[in-house]
Amino acid sequence: MNIISVDLPWKPDTERRRALAIAGLDGNVKIARASDDKELLGLARDSAEPESIILLDVPIDGCDNLDGEHFRPIDKAIAHQNISVLPASKAKNRGKKLKKRLLERDEKRLRVYEIYPYAIYKFLAYLKHKKLLEYLNFGKFDSLLDKRFRTTYKWSRKYKREKDRVQRIRNMRYLYSLLTDSSLGLTFSPPLHCPDISYTGKGLNELCDEYDACLGAVVGLHFANNRSYAWIAGDTKTGNMLILADQWLVGQLRLEIPVYRLGQKEQRL
């Protein structure tokens, strides 16, 4: 089993901008890139091991049950935690179609889940700000967040939509330091790139894709190893995603949607 985390555009005809983080259960990560969906699917299938987990940064379920709405219940619940989300209606059935194609002739018994890297980033960044990142590796499930998670931005740095180029590079370097923090247990071969002033806008965008794929690998590894902070929020009918959450965040989310662990039924806890 390994983890294949994919950052991809929501429009299938968008060229390039597809990054894969392929992680072993030991936390070693390698980065791959694909120029289109065909190459992406081929890389994912070829890299997968028996019972591998594939994570897609695109809405998968619930987009055909919107009834004129733009956001699914899972999207609204995430947004209520002051985590900005894009309207799932823009993705249409892209995620569901990709999942179906990945599971065709599925001799490897793959599992495919939706992720949202920015939500993972905000969770990790808040823990880093509070000097609590190492708690993710403890067996105990605890409350690490608090209401300030929703009310302050100073610990969360834009790395995609920051207009000032120099500031964007600083923010991306912060994300780089987060991904390479020893508390997360990731290693990269070859090493993960860190941006500097020589990077073009295109280069920064592509590096952001790689960072987002790596963020997905973090939650995927926690999920695969059945660690206490990996949860599935939502349900298969209206949409769900794999997230990192502590006791506090689980409590906030389950006021609106089901939140459950691996092997549990899709019901409120």
> What is the per-residue pLDDT for 14?
73
> With 0-12 CB in 10 A as exposed, 13-18 as middle and 19+ as buried, what is 84?
exposed
The torsion angles phi and psi of 231, rounded to 5 degrees, stand at: -135, 160
> What is the per-residue pLDDT for 7?
97
Give the alpha-carbon dihedral of 63, 159, 112, 53, to 10 degrees: -170
> What is the per-residue pLDDT for 16?
73
> What is the per-residue pLDDT for 214?
98
> What is the per-residue pLDDT for 156?
66
> What is the per-residue pLDDT for 267?
39
Q: What is the pLDDT of residues 188-240, one digit of tens each?
A: 999 999 999 999 999 999 999 999 999 999 999 999 999 999 999 999 999 99
Q: Which regions of the chain are under pLDDT 70? A: 152-156, 263-269
pTM: 0.94
d(CA 157, CA 208): 13
> What is the per-residue pLDDT for 165?
92
> What is the per-residue pLDDT for 139?
81
Domain boundaries along the sequence of the chain = 3-260
